[in-house]
Structure 1
């Protein structure tokens, strides 16, 4: 007890010492360059965990600070600073600004500019912002990341491509795809080799440094004839000077889970369905139970599988004094959700940078080389799985091909019956190999005798080859009911060669307080395409004549930009283009662009603001073109050989014929005139930043394939400059650093886009009632459910207005008599609802806590509709049980809601809202960092959760090429799987 009292006395003696040693300190935090106070600076006592924030005048009070405590001062946009407390009661701390994102350099096409000086609608998405997971196609990295850009994948097929639409696209029959420029090489927009899945797959996503998206004409006019649908600049990784050898190894493994399929009747439900049909006295002479069998087969379950994949990626890099080297190898193996669907790709990538002449000359060599193998699953199996009798067995031991097929009493295959879905997949072997090389050499030379003058030369090629393409379908099977094998072979070459150069002159004219930036250059690009196909005809392999196409583009370009007093920005550009796709009279096009900006934050009345970091107003106008049509020589009268389906039989021989193609000598450029006004803003050293844009776009002389009077040409349809469209939209972007502490941070970004588009004119006579049917569907012959018509969006549906009974059920054949003539005819079909959404939204959130990080991306689409073709073709008695022939087919569960006896293809009952919100991507990562190596472990879930009322597999129906206008038609959709991806990355 005495000893305890001594210890207690000893401890109590030190209490006054501690009380004296702990202080409440106050202070101020300033910008080291301007001495301006910094608000909301985070101050953390790293010894105790106590913290404080500065007020709007930069002042702070921090309690309970002891001698030698380490205080951390951190503020977004500034380099963190540690201060050891030495007993001061009043501190003044200066923080140095780190490289501001306003100083960030962005590509603008044939040059670059500081982000703060950009006056056009330009967005940059860097590697830190990319979507995560087993990404195969580069464009998937930027889905939902910026307003006005819509990226829609083609479904669940491995390596499949996506449709990218920037501000909705500007064309009808011509391509609406943006121009893609990879390390200075514009890729071929129009030609995609048969036997490949996506032209962008040649680019390893892990090797991409950033995307720059040019959205308005002020930015894209420098690309002239190819700028109407926007431009995406892809910049790959190059490495840095004076860095040690670094090796990076990355391995990702993915596993996919099938989501719900289309709701068709199970075998037992189908038996009851047939029994109910047979029990109806009206069907006494047409009993169907004789076609029921004893199996219980879920055909969708038989054709789909849990897809899986693995990605290996290795990179080695080194930065010397005058040389930078980067080598990358990538292997990607993917199995699709549909059985037999397989994609393999290996790639080798080189980036070499050499500095010469005292660093005045920079030579950059990049080469991206890929080697791919594809086995394509036959998508016809998807529709067959919906309709094939669920009481049928999978296999038939009496059939030489092993699979059960519908046959007549004589054992012959029924031509009109669907084939065995699993047999369609396993008996159809369609494979191909392909190679791709995108290589360029760029020279950037600072001409020392003229300060500020640079010369840039860029030359390169893009070579793609499809080879060993072969599709084999054995005779007398569900996929090939003919008595001879069906064999197709195919191969092809695409070659794109580039040479461009430009001079750039930048000069600060101090006397005028103005910075001048002038660019002038020349561009030449040639494209070559060859295709070779053969196929069986009457049991013999027939080689078709090779198809060879070439076209060339020549451009002269210039741009001048002025920054006056670091406040007022003026920029203008013009390009003169020549295209071989048009006749000499229409070959030349001029494409100007201009934009202005006002940096209000640098005005005297705002520059001392402690809250406002950036406030810039900008406006742009320009004219851009479009020449991407499928015909390279549409202005010439050409004679081409026919395919096998058009051979003429003479006795036992089938003779290939020649046909005269349609000709339009007056074909010329599309011209899109656009206007953009925007505002960029930032607060609290850009802790909160964003932009808002309004744009309008009018396209004239629009290329459209429209019907022409019989006898006026060699075809019933002709591509002419007959249409015009108009569109407008509003885009909003907001990024915020919500929490920024040493061990915990939270960054979030939100964007939303509103857009509308309509056709103003569709034919040369400007007839407002003229329309062109679009949107082909399955079922019947030549049926369409969409329309091109002045005053409507190009994806507008064209249907009858369904009438419903008192219980809300549709009445078969009962439609609104729109024109009041007491009969239902084609004149009562109306244009209403559209596939393209009114609003697109994206939300990204990133959390970090010590060594952990959590990133998620959400996407939303609102205001669009889908036509549910699967329901319209199967959800009726005639399709299921009244087939002419000795077979019956399944139906959808929706039949119980309609009781349709016959197909009602043109009823707006099948138009469903396609609104959705998707948790597209969520990644949890853990990082281990020491002096010798860095480890990162991650798990990612893709396509995790979809909130929608749409009854189909997926509300996001693949946006097909606008030429075929099948956006919003849900037919044979390849489902996207939910996938889990496990990743390990090592750097040392």
Structure 2
């Protein structure tokens, strides 16, 4: 274990059964020579170290509520509620002197007089206690007028109200060195002086300077109202309007406040007289159109700066550093959604369900855009409301409920379709290129105009050459010039480009199938889920990962080794002489797999025992198996598309008894 990079298959014990040493931060050669034996043991022992580290998390929460309700007249009610919350959290991390954390800190700041051999411990050898406090205080006030009245064939339900919320959060941290619990004591240390640090001679101060977290204060105000009107129990009209405000947005009042609304209508056709001739027992048509807003609490229209004090070398003078530039044009994100759908139930067949189609358009979405670097200097981009997207989807649910004597079968099939793509984005670079999707994992939003929000693209793969090097396309020709392939014009394969769009990295089609079979008091249920129409990028062996980080991959054994090998894993390159070789292979289409799969979520068996006592209403025995894994997958290697690089989810089995009294 002479490398500081730890891999899962290393043994925790040596050949004698003693705890094995891991080189957490530095290699064996460094630790065997630094200090010449005059420092504390600098090795890390995983099977022992956990004994010397404890974390205690204490949370105290106080909640007070008060409310009032007054009936004003027939159908009219006024309500008011106020809630106050205070939460104090304290995390104590106690590192005993035998822990690696303490030994590492003491050794790092130890000063050795090479003439006398004397060691001066700047950090005292003893326990370390790290205290972190997190506090939050909030209030919420809501007043609301409700109206509910039915007059003949007309039914009215309405409400109007005001809601205000404030959330205040702050915190602190402090590190105590040489800590002793009994008798209570600690050793003061110098947090301001810069010392030479071992093993490489860099300089730095002791961590743990008393710290106060900045106070964060967020306020929200909302004025809202909605109504629902029904005529003859079949014609329905509803609406909602609200005006939300937040203190995190810009100078202009119009940016702080956002009017939001929705309007809906419904029609129960099965209430009409002519409907009796149709083979349906129930049919309802519905549609809604609305606008909603989104707030990102990590954004601010005002500049955010942090204050601190310089070290003694720099005169201990206070200074401030701007971490976020002022952004006065920042405003709410807006989403428009149109829903149309129907609900139905057949007359002479136990089938019911719903179908819903929706369109969703987002505007003023947060995105990265160019910024005048000379006016700030920290970076050349800023987050603003510059992006837009369009989406559409279909939700279908079918329910089947068959009963025949003591036998029963309930089944629910769910199908969802969802597709969304970027329609506007002001990225600093050429937004038409697929470069960002070629180098993306697909796990985060990666906006490229005209493509899905979570999209994957890949370099065209042309196999390995006679030396085991991966080959791509450049100017329509097979090439191993990885710099040219990467930096050149990236278009579609049909345009002679070196990469092309693969597809969505998240499922386009997904859903589930839940079934329950019953016989008298016995019930058996299972649930299948499916995810279709997407791709994922798997990992593989690369020479740079092995040489630089000591990381190997099972594909290493399938690598090209000699001329004539029919392999798709490049040869081991040592030394590394071809820039971009591993990056090209890692982003090529050979490592793209289809993510389609069907998963067995759970199987549940229950039996309801007969009632045995007047005080016990129900006794149920149950057996459950969950996370049973994938029963079909489209990829060639049997990988779990949801966790391709992780250990499969653990199967869970349980037996139990439930009773209600």
TM-score range, shorter chain: 0.7 to 0.9
Find out whether 1:826 has 2:493 as its counterpart.
Answer: no
Give the Cα–Cα distance (whole angstroms) in 2 for the partners of residues 867 and 587 of structure 1.
41
CA root-mean-square deviation:
4.2
Aligned equivalent of 1:985: 658
1:903 is matched with 582
What is the distance in 2 between the residues matched to 1:956 and 1:477?
40
> Which residue in the other structure is 2:627 paired with?
943
Q: Among 275, 278, 301, which residue is 1:606 paired with?
A: 275
Task: Tell me if the contact between 2:507 and 2:531 (Cα under 8 Å) persists in the aligned partners.
Answer: yes
Q: Distance in 1 between matches of 2:408 and 2:157?
A: 39
Aligned to 2:469: 812
CA–CA distance in structure 1, aligned partners of residues 33 and 641 of structure 2: 36
How far residue 454 of structure 1 moved from its aligned partner, in angstroms, is: 2.4
Q: Which residue of structure 1 aligns with residue 459 of structure 2?
A: 800
Q: How does 1:695-844 map to 2 (within 5 A)?
A: 695-713=358-376, 715-716=378-379, 717-738=381-402, 740-763=403-426, 768-769=431-432, 773=436, 787-804=446-463, 812-817=469-474, 823-827=484-488, 828=490, 829-844=499-514
Q: CA deviation at 1:721?
A: 0.6
Stretches of structure 2 lacking an aligned partner (at least 5 in a row): 35-42, 111-122, 176-190, 192-203, 491-498, 559-567, 573-580
> Shift of the alpha carbon at 1:636?
1.2
Alpha carbons of 1:743 and 1:493: their partners in 2 closer, same or farther (altered >3 Å)?
farther
Q: Cα gap change, 1:409/1:927 in structure 2, threshold over 3 Å: closer, same or farther?
A: same
- In 2, the alpha carbon distance for the partners of 1:442 and 1:940 equals 43
By how many angstroms is 1:619 displaced? 0.8
- 1:770 to partner: Cα distance: 7.6
Summarize deviations over 1:521-553 as a string: whole Å, max 9, x none.
111111122233457974442222322201111
Name stretches of at least 5 consecutive residues in structure 1 with no aligned partner.
1-290, 294-380, 958-969
Distance in 2, matches of 1:476 and 1:853, equals 57
2 CA distance for matches of 1:791 and 1:487? Answer: 53
Residue number in structure 2 paired with 1:595? 264
SS of 2:462's equivalent in the other structure is strand
Number of residue-to-residue matches in the alignment: 565
Q: Distance in 1 between matches of 2:2 and 2:655?
A: 46
How far does residue 623 in structure 1 lie from its aligned partner after superposition?
0.7
User: CA 1:401–1:892 in 2, change beyond 3 Å: closer, same or farther?
Assistant: closer
Secondary structure of residue in 2 paired with 1:909: helix
Structure 1 position 566 matched with structure 2 position 233: yes
Q: 1:722 Cα deviation (Å)?
A: 0.7
Aligned partner of residue 583 in structure 1, secondary structure: coil
CA deviations over 1:2-35 (Å, ceiling 9, x no partner): xxxxxxxxxxxxxxxxxxxxxxxxxxxxxxxxxx
Report if the CA contact (8 A) 1:680-1:690 is conserved.
yes
Mapped partners of 1:458, 1:775: distance in 2: 53
Cα shift at 1:565 = 1.9
Deviation at 1:746, TM superposition (A): 1.4
SS in 2 for 1:592: strand
Contact 2:337–2:361 under 8 Å retained in 1: yes
2:76 to 431, 434, 453: 453
Q: Does 1:925 align with 2:606?
A: yes
1:879 has 2:516 as partner: no
- The alignment status of 1:474 with 2:100, answered yes or no, reads yes
SS class of match (1:620): strand
Per-residue CA deviations over 1:882-921 (Å, capped at 9, x if unaligned) read 34xxx95543246515134363332233332222211112
Query: Distance in 2 between the 1:480 and 1:954 partners?
Result: 44
Q: Is the 8 A contact 1:697 1:727 kept in 2?
A: yes
The 3 A distance-change label for structure 1 pair 621 and 421 is: farther
C-alpha change, 1:479 and 1:765, in structure 2 (3 Å) is: closer
Alpha-carbon spacing, 1:469–1:606, altered in 2? closer, same or farther (3 Å): farther
**3-state SS, counterpart of residue 794 of structure 1:** coil
Please state whether the residue corresponding to 1:824 is helix, strand or coil. helix
Change (3 A) 1:599 1:641: same
C-alpha contact 1:576 1:589 (8 A) present in aligned 2: yes
Alpha-carbon displacement from aligned partner over 1:482-529 (angstroms, at most 9, x marks no partner): 56899864331334422212212122232xx32122211111111122
SS in structure 2 at match of 1:549:
strand
Distance 1:424 1:450 in 2: 72
How far apart, CA to CA, are the structure 2 residues paired with 1:487 and 1:818?
62
Structure 1 residue 568, shift from structure 2 partner = 1.2
1:522 aligns with 2:148: no
Determine the C-alpha separation between the residues in 2 that align with 1:655 and 1:506.
66
What TM-score results when the alignment is normalised by the length of structure 2? 0.74
Q: Is the 8 A contact 1:935 1:985 kept in 2?
A: yes
Counterpart of 2:330 in structure 1 is 667
Residues of 1 paired with 2:553 and 2:109: CA distance? 30
- Separation in 1 of the partners of 2:438 and 2:80? 45
Given that 2:90 and 2:131 are in contact with CA atoms closer than 8 Å, whether structure 1 keeps it comes out as: no
SS of residue in 2 equivalent to 1:825: helix
CA contact (8 A) 2:341 2:356 kept: yes
Q: Distance in 2 between matches of 1:522 and 1:854?
A: 48
- Give the superposition deviation at 1:468: 1.7
Change (3 A) 1:477 1:600: farther
How far apart, in 1, do the equivalents of 2:94 and 2:348 lie? 60
Counterpart in the other structure of 1:45? none
SS at match of 1:727: strand
2:305 and 2:443 mapped to 1: Cα distance? 30
Aligned ranges 1:492-531 → 2 under 5 Å:
492-510=134-152, 513-531=153-171
Structure 1 partner of 2:565: none
Q: Is the 8 A contact 1:787 1:798 kept in 2?
A: no
Name the TM-score, length of structure 1 as normaliser: 0.51
- Measure, in 2, the Cα distance between the counterparts of 1:836 and 1:900: 32
Match of 1:394 among 5, 9, 13: 13
Partner of 2:7: 385
Give the Å deviation of 1:680: 0.7
CA distance in 2, matches of 1:400, 1:413: 22
**d(CA) in 1 for partners of 2:52, 2:426:** 44
Work out whether residues 804 and 810 of structure 1, in 8 Å CA contact, stay in contact via their aligned partners in 2: no
User: Contact between 1:797 and 1:833, CA under 8 Å: does it hold in 2?
Assistant: yes
Q: Distance in 2 between matches of 1:830 and 1:498?
A: 52
Q: C-alpha displacement at 1:737, in angstroms?
A: 0.5
Q: Deviations over 1:582-608 (max 9, x none)?
A: 124111110010011111111111146
Alpha-carbon distance change, 685 to 531 in structure 1, aligned in 2, over 3 angstroms: farther
Q: Which residue of 2 aligns with 1:314?
A: none
Counterpart contact for 1:671–1:702, Cα < 8 Å: yes
- Paired residues for 1:253-652 under 5 Å: 384-386=6-8, 390=10, 394-395=13-14, 402-403=21-22, 407-409=27-29, 411-412=31-32, 422=46, 426=50, 429=53, 431-435=55-59, 441=65, 445=69, 447=71, 450-461=73-84, 464-470=87-93, 474-475=100-101, 489-510=131-152, 513-533=153-173, 538-585=205-252, 586-607=255-276, 611-631=279-299, 634-641=300-307, 651=313
Name the CA shift for 1:292/1:400 in 2 (closer, same or farther; >3 Å): closer
Measure the CA separation in 2 of the matches of 1:770 and 1:544.
45
> Structure 1 residues 749, 437: CA separation in 2 closer, same or farther (over 3 Å shift)?
farther
Residue 627 of structure 1: how far off its partner (Å): 0.9
Cα offset, 1:679, TM superposition: 0.6
Name the CA distance, whole Å, in 1 between partners of 2:411 and 2:370: 50
